[in-house]
Structure 1
Amino acid sequence: MSEKKQGKLNEAKWSVLDLSPIVVGGSVGQSLQNTLDLAQHAEKWGYNRYWLAEHHNMAGIASSATAVVIGHVAGGTSKIRVGSGGIMLPNHSPLVIAEQFGTLESLYPGRIDLGLGRAPGTDQVTARALRRDLHSTGEDFPDQLDELREYFNPTEKRPVRAIPGEGLNVPIWLLGSSGFSAQLAGQLGLPFAFASHFSPDYTLTALQLYRDSFRPSQVLDKPYAMVGANVIAADTDEKAKFLATSMQQQFLNLVRGRSGPLNPPVESMEYLWSDYEKAAIQRQLGASIVGSPETVKEKLEGFLAATQADEVMVNAQIFDHQERLRSYEIVAELAKGK
């Protein structure tokens, strides 16, 4: 095995993951305006790509119609790549996704990514409303993926064609929080993105599985791994920890089986969660990087050294939009060596 690279921030690419958070007292319209504003700043600061995530029946997330929001962001920017992190393919017909992303690629050529996941991105009741096959366990995901890829690059004359879509180069990524998609991405020679921002314990195992199973393809001649990370940066450690309590409250709601708008930060979480809830949330958010520029730089270098990621996708669930912008700005400055 080759010697590991040191975790040099300027040797990795940096990108943004956005769930278009709806905050307490805010509106969906304002959230989508903030999404575009963050994307425009991210482009200016030199981020590589900007991805939106598909979730449903969640009162704090405005990106459920993911392809529509991608179009909103791509139309308001000029060069940053825009895509899905991800589209939950079992929720959709592969033909519809090929047409949607074929349309996006036709409108914004060379800028659209299609990241795919195999989870529903919601609860089972909502999955039924999405007309998803509730008997599916995700094991048919490889077949759905093959069908989708065939619409973009048909190997034979088909009675059903994706127009727009056919013949277009829309990069496909596989997303995952376990080993299933890691191994599949490796076997197909596709780029892989791991959700370390909510599944940190399996990060290194999944990345190793991806690299070990990788087979060169027309898409890639060597593995390309992107890793999601919660990064909340502020001018001081204390302020960053304060801002991070909004994210902690969001996960607390999920542990309790309910969703709601993103709450404002609090001085302390101790009176909000039980010991069990605290342990569960810290396990999920254990890889989160929170702190001042100096703290964030040190932790990101360690994160890169451990994961050997080619790219890091930064997620920052911060209540105040200006503070969120500042957090991403700090990361961009660190990535440039400032």
Structure 2
Amino acid sequence: MTVPLSILDLSPISAGCDAASALRNTVDLAQHAEQWGYQRYWVAEHHFVAVASSAPAVLIGQIAAATERIRVGAAAVQLGYTTALAVVESFGMLEQFHPGRIDLGLGRSGQRRKEVERGELPPRPDVPWREVDGVVVPSAFDTRTLLSSPRMRALATVLTQPEAVPPDFGQQVADILALLGGSYTVDGYPVHAVPGEASGLTPWIFGSSKGQSAEVAGARGLPFVASYHITPSSALDAVHAYRAAFVPSAHLSEPHVVVSADVLVADDSATARHLATPFGRWVYSIRAEGGAVPYPDPDTVEPLADDQRAVVEDRIATQFVGDADEVADKLTALQRVTGADELVVTTATHRHADRLRSYELLAKRWSGAA
């Protein structure tokens, strides 16, 4: 079964470059992605690191204006740092400019940090490394140390107003649905999001485990995106939990699952492996050095020491690297195991031309597999 293929872009800043070049590269890649037949182009939300996708709604507007047909969206707005009304109004405005092309993606990353600080986030279960029908399911990486670091706590204060307390994620999703549907009230007074109300937007819920995000997406009958590329240890569990919780809604009559994957394609396997050399170092910077560094040059990047590699082994093992046939085969296995209705792929390389080539080769191979 060949399912639609889409792109998730972080607008990575390469070593020696700047945010301006990364943003220009994002728009250029989106224009090519439309030509190559990708269904969606999603941008992530990250702050204070060497990726330029810090304001998804702004970037989505630029991408949608530079393209004609491809759907453009957020993967995902971090609800812990904003309000339901702000999200509905900003994406409602995008929908007015680009009718039928905007995807509203919602995530709870900001709330997870608060849970860690309060000691409410349990440790990841110690699940043995295994393989499921050709898909690697590694042991879990425990994010508590990363999320509770003094640096992360300090930077998080910049993202919210003083004394602000993020609402419950499920409540924020309910509020967004009410605002979109025109039924939101405060103390009995109606509140109308202009623009946004009656825009036809459908929220997409992004999740990394079988926890609240999967449960909310299922209970609300919304599409769900499982992040195999960030949390490969728990993505399959997340999909199962979503399907188990699913209740039909006005948005969906049956579950709709998207699964993400890290990929890197080149004309031959050796070239792909060389271009992927910096990936482990880059992920290590995210997990152990305070945030993503500028994406290193594969020709000069220093190899990881054994203890450093152990921190990122799960991500290295689940990055799909090779020629187009090899990567397509791995994506097919991931789709088969998860039953995904769509796949979304993300690629980081030092040189923009290599990233373009990766997506082009994969698109041609994927469409040829139909």
Return the TM-score normalized by structure 1.
0.91
For 2:362, the equivalent position in structure 1 comes to 331
Please point out which of 280, 292, 301 is paired with 1:248.
Answer: 280
Instruction: Measure, in 2, the Cα distance between the counterparts of 1:119 and 1:104.
Output: 23
Cα distance, 1:133 vs structure 2: 7.7
**1:265 matches 2:255:** no
SS of the aligned residue for 1:34 comes to helix
Cα distance, 1:135 vs structure 2: 8.4
SS of the aligned residue for 1:189 comes to coil
For 2:202, the equivalent position in structure 1 comes to 171
Instruction: Measure, in 2, the Cα distance between the counterparts of 1:97 and 1:285.
Output: 34
**1:33 matches 2:24:** yes
Cα distance, 1:98 vs structure 2: 0.9
Give structure 1 stretches of 5+ with no counterpart. Answer: 1-7
Note if contact 2:279-2:316 (Cα within 8 Å) is conserved in structure 1.
Answer: no
For 1:5, the equivalent position in structure 2 comes to none
SS of the aligned residue for 1:211 comes to helix
SS of the aligned residue for 1:215 comes to coil
The CA RMSD measured in Å over matched residues stands at 1.9
2:3 partner amino acid:
A
For 2:308, the equivalent position in structure 1 comes to 277
For 2:154, the equivalent position in structure 1 comes to 125
- After the TM superposition, which parts of structure 1 deviate over 6 Å for at least 4 consecutive aligned residues? none
Identity of aligned residues (%): 38
Return the TM-score normalized by structure 2.
0.83
2:63 partner amino acid:
V
**1:184 matches 2:216:** yes
**1:142 matches 2:173:** no
SS of the aligned residue for 1:229 comes to strand
For 2:258, the equivalent position in structure 1 comes to 226
For 2:133, the equivalent position in structure 1 comes to none
Note if contact 2:183-2:190 (Cα within 8 Å) is conserved in structure 1.
Answer: no
- Report Cα offsets for 1:270-323 as digits up to 9, x if no partner: x63232321221113432110012211221221121111111111001111111
Instruction: Measure, in 1, the Cα distance between the counterparts of 2:335 and 2:87.
Output: 33
Please point out which of 85, 100, 109 is paired with 1:95.
Answer: 85
Change (3 A) 1:134 1:272: farther
Note if contact 1:246-1:317 (Cα within 8 Å) is conserved in structure 2.
Answer: no
Note if contact 1:230-1:287 (Cα within 8 Å) is conserved in structure 2.
Answer: yes
SS of the aligned residue for 2:249 comes to coil
1:229 partner amino acid:
A
Instruction: Measure, in 2, the Cα distance between the counterparts of 1:275 and 1:139.
Output: 41
Please point out which of 51, 60, 63 is paired with 1:61.
Answer: 51
1:191 partner amino acid:
P
Instruction: Measure, in 1, the Cα distance between the counterparts of 2:153 and 2:73.
Output: 26
Instruction: Measure, in 1, the Cα distance between the counterparts of 2:163 and 2:282.
Output: 27
Note if contact 1:19-1:53 (Cα within 8 Å) is conserved in structure 2.
Answer: yes
- Report Cα offsets for 1:102-124 as digits up to 9, x if no partner: 11000101000011000129832
For 2:67, the equivalent position in structure 1 comes to 77
1:326 partner amino acid:
R
- Report Cα offsets for 1:177-196 as digits up to 9, x if no partner: 11121121111110000111
Instruction: Measure, in 2, the Cα distance between the counterparts of 1:305 and 1:134.
Output: 46
Note if contact 1:90-1:132 (Cα within 8 Å) is conserved in structure 2.
Answer: no
Note if contact 2:105-2:206 (Cα within 8 Å) is conserved in structure 1.
Answer: yes
Cα distance, 1:134 vs structure 2: 7.8
1:286 partner amino acid:
A
1:127 partner amino acid:
A
